[in-house]
Amino acid sequence: MNILITNDDGIYSEGLTALVQEMSEVANITVVAPDRERSATAHAITMHKPLRTEKIHIPNSKASGWKVNGTPSDCVKLALEALLDFTPDLVLSGINRGPNLGTDVIYSGTVSAAIEAALSGIPAIALSIISHNHNYENVSFNSAAQIVKKLCMQILERVFPEDSLLNINIPSVEQDEIVGVAITHLGTIKYKNSFDRRMDPRGKIYYWLAGEAIDNDEIGSDVWAVKNKYISITPLLFDLTKYEVIETLKKWDLQI
């Protein structure tokens, strides 16, 4: 089995290393990932400068791969269309340091890398770990990677749903505290006081994106699941058409 691993925290991140080491036990792993952190890049792609790659080896594993001066989407595109001489059986993106839940998935580089693979018809899973501890000091990426391995082995035995990808968020608690697996829908996360307005030493105004998340932990949502110590698995789509509105718009009878 051939697995391509990428992420948006950069190729040297703890989450990617742990994932590669664990998954190496059950599959041939190739890594193609950004050379540095590219969080919140969403599905950005690099059109106006060339991409460079450098061969690398992931410590304490048999895995090798490439680091790329691009976004997570660039990495997957480049892997599938230029670097690899095989089609992977699975693409994993992560394990991301921090949640990718609810409305926020739209900003996620981690999820976008998985979408890019899904667009090419390859089963793809975005993986994130959630700690209540903001600096992620005592988070066990190794423990999360073990869980991911168990889940992947089961998922690969099923028929992967067409035109879909999976978004998995793992609460950072002891393994025996995890309640189970919840299949969820995306919740909503809104922010209040989103921007900090400040003045620089030269009297000019600038803004920092900040803000306090107000999440709606409605039962059955991913936000609810991880709060209640479930592993959340959400099926995602990449066809953004809102089909149920097409007939309504036709009735509008717009004229030019």
Rounded to an integer, what distance in angstroms lies between the CA atom of residue 85 and that of residue 173? 39
Answer for which of 85, 197, 201, 202 binds a copy of itself (CB under 8 A) is: 197
Rounded to an integer, what distance in angstroms lies between the CA atom of residue 151 and that of residue 149? 5
Sign (positive or negative) of CA dihedral 149, 154, 160, 166: negative
Q: Which of residues 123-162 bind a copy of itself (CB under 8 A)?
A: 147, 150-151, 154-155, 158, 161
Q: Does the footprint of a copy of itself cover residue 252 (CB under 8 A)?
A: yes
Q: Does the footprint of a copy of itself cover residue 198 (CB under 8 A)?
A: yes
Between 57 and 198, CB nearer to a copy of itself: 198
In one-letter notation, the amino acid at residue 202 is R
User: Contact, 147 vs 175, CB < 8 A?
Assistant: yes
Answer for which of 73, 93, 96, 169 binds a copy of itself (CB under 8 A) is: 73
Q: Does the footprint of a copy of itself cover residue 239 (CB under 8 A)?
A: yes
Q: What angle do CA 152, 7, 128 make, to 5 degrees?
A: 60
Q: Which of residues 11-50 bind a copy of itself (CB under 8 A)?
A: 39-47, 50
CA atoms within 13 A on the CB side of 87: 7
Rounded to an integer, what distance in angstroms lies between the CA atom of residue 88 and that of residue 91? 7
Structure tokens at 220: 């059955």
- Binding segment for a copy of itself (CB under 8 A), chosen from 19-27, 89-97, 106-114, 134-142, is 106-114
Q: Does the footprint of a copy of itself cover residue 55 (CB under 8 A)?
A: no
User: Contact, 108 vs 23, CB < 8 A?
Assistant: no
Binding string, 202-221, against a copy of itself, x = CB under 8 A? Answer: --xxxxxx------------
Q: Does the footprint of a copy of itself cover residue 112 (CB under 8 A)?
A: yes
Q: Does the footprint of a copy of itself cover residue 248 (CB under 8 A)?
A: yes
Q: Does the footprint of a copy of itself cover residue 106 (CB under 8 A)?
A: yes
Q: Pick out the residues of the known binding site for a divalent metal cation.
A: 8-9, 39, 96
